[in-house]
Amino acid sequence: MTAVLEAARPAAAINARRAPLGGFLGGVLISQIVNNALHLAQPLLMSRLTGSLGWAAFFASAETGVHMGGTFLGGWPCDKLGPRRLLILSTLLRGVSLSIIPVAWALGLLTIPVAVIGYTLDALVRGLVDTSVHTLPLELAERDRAELDRLNARYELAFDIGGVIGPVGLAVLMTRSDSWLPHAVIAGGFVLSALVFGLVPRASSVRRAPKPAAAPERGGTWEGLKLVLADPALRWSCLGLALLNLYPLRKLMSAFFAKAILMKPAYAGWVGAAFGLGGIMGSLIFSARGGRTSGRRWIAAGAIGTLALATAWIPGSLSAMVCGVFVFATLNAAARLSMTGALQDGTPLSAAGGVTAVARGASNAASVALKFLLAAAFALGAAPRAAFAAVGAGLAVIAVVQLILASRLARLRI
C-alpha cells in the first residue's frame, strides 16, 4: 500500500522532500578515508608489535567482537538520543580513542597493552557509529523508497571513495614515514568527521512523515529484536546482510597478502584501494539499474563476487589480486544495497535504531567468524599459501550459502 501511495505522488512533491545530504555524505567520506587507512594500519602495527600475523588476526577478530557488542548497545541510545546526535558523539570518541596510539608512540611508551586499549575502545565506539550511521538514512529519507535508494547509493559511493583514498593515502604516508604520523592523521580525521556530521539537519528541521498513532514506543535493541523475529522479510534481510558482510576482510586480506605473499607491506594500500573502487562501481551500477529490481538476482551476483575473492590470491600477483577484489567488491556492494533497502522497507521509524542494531550486530557476528577463520589459518603455522587456501575454501562455502539464500528470497518475492 505504501508503494502505491508513493507512486501516486506528483514527482515535484517527492523531489521537494529530498533531504540535504552534504553534511551526512561529507562526514561519511572523511570518516571512511581514515577508517580504511585504519583497517590496514592496525594489523600491520599489531603484527609489528607481536611479531605474528596470526596473533594480529586473532586480535582483529576479538576487536570485531567488541564492535559487534557496540552495535547492539547502540540501539537504545540511537532511539533515545536520535541517530544524528549519537553519530556526532561516537565519531568524536573514535578520534579520542585512537589518539592514544600516536601519543604513546611519540612518547616512546607504545606497547602491546597500550595498543590493545586504544583499538578496543575504538571498536566499542565504532559499534555505536555503525548503528547510528545506518539508522540516519531512514530519518532523512522519511521512509520514501526512491529517496532511500538514492541516499543508500550515495552513502555507498562516499563509503567506497573513502575506501580508495584511505588505503592509497596510507601507502604514501607509510612510504614517507614509518612512524606515529599515519596514526595521528587517522585520529585527527575522525575529529574532523564529527564536526562535518554536525552539519546534518536536526530532526526538527527535516520534514517527516506522520507517525502512526499505534506506533510502538522506542525500545532500542530489544524492541528491534522482537520485530525482526516476528517478520520473515526482516529476518531474511538480516541474514542476507550478514552473509554479504565480507568487506571487513579487506584489511586483513590486503595486509597479509601484501606482507606474506608479495613481501611488500606498502602494497596493502593498493589492494585495499581495489575494494573501494569496486564498491564505487557497484553503487553506480545499482543506481543505473534503477535501484531494487530483484533481490535474489543481486544476491546471486554477490555469490559470484565471493567466488572471485576466494580465488584472487592464487596467482600470487598484485594485478590478479586487484582484479579479483574489484570484481568481488562491485557485485557485493550492489547486493548489499539491495538487502539494505529490503530491510529498511519493513522497519518502522519508531524502532529504526533497534532494528538496525540487530541487523548490524548479525553482520558483525559473521565478520567475527570470518576473521577467526583467517586468524586460525595463519596462527597454525602453515605456509602463507596454505593459509590463504583455507580462507578461500571458507569463502567458497559462503558463496554456496548465498546462492541458497537467493533461491529462498525468490520464494518470498524479495
- The domains found in the chain, sorted by start residue, are 20-203+224-412 (1.20.1250.20)
Exposed e or buried b per residue across 15-30, where buried means at least 16 C-beta atoms within 10 angstroms of its C-beta: eebbbebebbbbbbbb
Region 21-38: mean pLDDT is: 89
Question: What are the C-alpha distances in Å from 150 to residues 138, 155, 163?
Answer: 12, 9, 20
Read off the pTM.
0.71
Q: Which residue has the higher pLDDT, 342 or 111?
A: 111
What's the pLDDT tens digit per position in 404-413? 888 877 666 6
Dist. CA 374–CA 252, nearest whole Å: 8
Q: And the C-alpha cell for 273?
A: 584501494
For residue 307, report the phi and psi dihedrals to the nearest 5 degrees.
Answer: -65, -35
pLDDT of residue 7: 41
What's the pLDDT tens digit per position in 255-313? 788 878 888 777 877 888 888 889 889 988 888 876 555 667 888 899 999 999 999 98
User: Residue 127: enclosing H or E segment and its boundaries?
Assistant: helix 112-141
Dist. CA 304–CA 414, nearest whole Å: 19
Question: What are the C-alpha distances in Å from 207 to residues 66, 69, 84, 200?
Answer: 35, 32, 15, 13
What's the pLDDT tens digit per position in 231-252? 888 888 888 888 888 877 777 7
pLDDT of residue 29: 93
pLDDT of residue 216: 44
pLDDT at residue 13 greater than cutoff 50: no
Listed residue (79, 96, 78, 95) closest to 87, CA to CA: 78
Per-chain mean pLDDT for the chain: 80
